[in-house]
Amino acid sequence: MNAFTILLTGYSGAGKTTIAMELQKEFLRRSMPVELLDGDVIRKNLSFDLDFSRESRFSNAKRTGFLSGLLSRNGINVIVSMIAPYSECRDAIRHQVKNYKEVYVKCPIDICEKRDVKGLYQKVRDGRIEHFTGISDPYEVPICPDVVCKTNKETVVVSVAKILKNLGMQTMIRKEIAYPSLFYTDPEAS
Amino acid sequence: MNAFTILLTGYSGAGKTTIAMELQKEFLRRSMPVELLDGDVIRKNLSFDLDFSRESRFSNAKRTGFLSGLLSRNGINVIVSMIAPYSECRDAIRHQVKNYKEVYVKCPIDICEKRDVKGLYQKVRDGRIEHFTGISDPYEVPICPDVVCKTNKETVVVSVAKILKNLGMQTMIRKEIAYPSLFYTDPEAS
């Protein structure tokens, strides 16, 4: 009965939400119940009192873990998309669920900053945000993640396929999509 | 797909948790998925930062509503056992779920104090607790609850039967249990 709780951890702009949304689609495609708990949504609804200090991030993770535990023990798969920069944050989720999977969404900070999807890095450089992971706050790299998605080197399809494989869920993608590194060229590198 | 969210609201010691636990059993007996969100458990896991001020109670209710919404939209019935003394607290839950049911667990405050299951009323009288609903804090009586359980006049079985009836769930209890007021004598009254 215990469903998966998949934590996508990594820098802001690393591609967590993008992967999470595609992963969610794969669950829905298989008629598997799933909830996507996005860090921003959690902060808005559950942790509107918290800032981005170490303690607050830990509290936020504990609450998310509690929520994940309730959902997953009822058979709802949970995808958590959250920076979760400290190992204690990840552990707070891990300890409250049964089928925990840790996905490290890995991308060099300078590429994340170049992407700057939400314009947050610019705000950091302008001195308008403190406690920003990777710039003014540390990120403790996961020691033993179940999956590593290198989003500067692989496509979303590949990242999702790697996660599905780890979950033991059959992937239905073709080889040339699954291993596009043979064909993949970084547009920035040209 | 949207399951019920049943809020049991009333004074501390009114019998919310007792009814909630029996109601939970009725769901489980029918193999219907259910989660019991008890006020104390929510406070411990989700709202460890909050006190019992009006604002905090509202925040607590908002978080509980968010959680109830996630569970119920996935087909998990939710029983919330919480004082929820202000109508805005109840509304915060109501607005985040689809099939909301409000159960007013009604019992005169002096009987709740006599019961004093958790020893809280004694602490209030000793001046060790402030913001205590019914003593130093107000309780806004629900204007239009779906069910009223008068726990000083009816047994738990009756209270649960009334709720089940309101939910449209067939009850399987005998008439003499369902209407024990004919037989019920208050041991305190003798």
Partners of B45 on chain A (C-beta within 8 Å) are: 62-63, 66
Chain B residues contacting A via beta carbons under 8 Å: 33, 35, 45-46, 48-50, 59, 62-63, 66-67, 70-71, 74-76
- What's chain B's average pLDDT? 89
Between CA B21 and CA B29 the distance in angstroms is 12
pLDDT at B186: 55
Q: Which candidate, A132, A134, A112, A115, places its Cα nearest to that of A124?
A: A132
Residues A141-190: tens digit of each pLDDT: 999 999 999 999 999 999 999 999 999 987 765 555 555 554 445 555 54
More reliable by pLDDT, B183 or A18 = A18
| Inter-chain residue contact A71 with B71, CB threshold 8 Å | yes
Amino acid making up residue A62: K
- What's chain A's average pLDDT? 89
pLDDT, average across residues B27-38: 94
Listing DSSP states for B108-149 in one string gives -HHHHHHH-TTSHHHHHHTT---S-BTTTB-----SS-SEEE
Contact assessment for residue A82 and residue A9, using Cβ atoms and an 8 Å cutoff: yes
pLDDT at A174: 55
pLDDT-based confidence at residue A130 (cuts at 50, 70, 90): confident
Does residue A106 sit in helix, strand or coil?
A: strand
Residues A33-84: tens digit of each pLDDT: 999 999 888 988 888 888 899 999 999 999 999 999 999 999 999 999 999 9
Residue of B nearest to A67 (CA): B67
CA distance A48 to chain B (A): 9
Residues B134-181: tens digit of each pLDDT: 998 999 999 999 999 999 999 999 999 999 999 998 776 555 555 555
Which ipTM did the prediction report? 0.80
Nearest Cβ partner for A66 among B45, B50, B76? B45
Interface test with B, best of A46, A62, A80 (most B CBs within 10 A): A46
Partners of B28 on chain A (C-beta within 8 Å) are: none
Between CA B108 and CA B15 the distance in angstroms is 11
Domain segments of chain A as ranges: 4-189
pLDDT at A178: 53
User: Which two three-digit tokens encode residue B116?
Assistant: 């004093």
Interface test with A, best of B70, B77, B79 (most A CBs within 10 A): B70
A171: DSSP letter: P
pLDDT at B16 over 80: yes
Does residue A164 sit in helix, strand or coil?
A: helix
Q: Does domain A4-189 bear CATH number 3.40.50.300?
A: yes
Contact assessment for residue B149 and residue B163, using Cβ atoms and an 8 Å cutoff: yes
Q: Which candidate, B113, B105, B101, B114, places its Cα nearest to that of B85?
A: B105
| Inter-chain residue contact B33 with A62, CB threshold 8 Å | no
| Inter-chain residue contact B49 with A59, CB threshold 8 Å | yes
Nearest Cβ partner for A46 among B35, B46, B48? B46
| Inter-chain residue contact A66 with B46, CB threshold 8 Å | yes
pLDDT at A85 over 70: yes
Interface test with A, best of B45, B47, B48 (most A CBs within 10 A): B45
Chain A residues contacting B via beta carbons under 8 Å: 33, 35, 45-46, 48-50, 59, 62-63, 66-67, 70-71, 74-76
pLDDT at A183: 46
pLDDT at B107 over 90: yes
| Inter-chain residue contact A66 with B49, CB threshold 8 Å | no
Q: Is A101 left (phi over 0), alpha (psi -120 to 50) or beta?
A: beta
